Amino acid sequence: MMAEAQADDGEVFVYTGGDQVVPDDVRRVRIAKSVKIIPANAFDRREHLIDVEFHDGIERIEEWAFNCCYSLRSVKLLGVKIIGTAAFCNCSGLTDIKF
């Protein structure tokens, strides 16, 4: 069974990992401190996603994790050691990446 979390503060969805269902219309996401790995396809085709707040403890972003997140503009991936193949594929709005 998949777990679904509610948006925090009415606007920010808190991603806690695992088999959590991410709403199709999500716009802002904060990755919980407990998450070390963002699994493959976790945010696939979340076309309205514009902002993801990563924390320094994320070790790996797996394949296709953010595929087709067209509205995503920038990401700060401080501390990430491994980024899987095509993790940000088709993110045509992504113009600013910081490591």
DSSP 8-state secondary structure symbol assigned to residue 75: E
- Total domains present in the chain: 1
- Which residues in 17-56 belong to E strands, given as ranges? 28-31, 37-38, 51-53
Residue 74, token pair as written in the block:
């920038």
Residue 66 has pLDDT above 60, yes or no: yes
Distance (Å, whole) CA 19 – CA 11: 21
72: domain CATH number is 3.80.10.10
Residue 70 CB coordination number (10 Å): 15
How far, rounded to the nearest angstrom, does the alpha carbon of residue 78 sit from its chain's CA centroid? 14
Residue 77, token pair as written in the block:
């991936």
Domain range for residue 2? 1-99
Read off the pLDDT of each residue in 54-58 and give the average, rounded to a whole number. Answer: 96
Q: Check: pTM over 0.85? Answer yes or no.
A: yes
Which range (10-14, 28-32, 52-56, 90-94) has the least confidence? 10-14
Q: Are 69 and 92 in contact (CB under 8 A)?
A: no
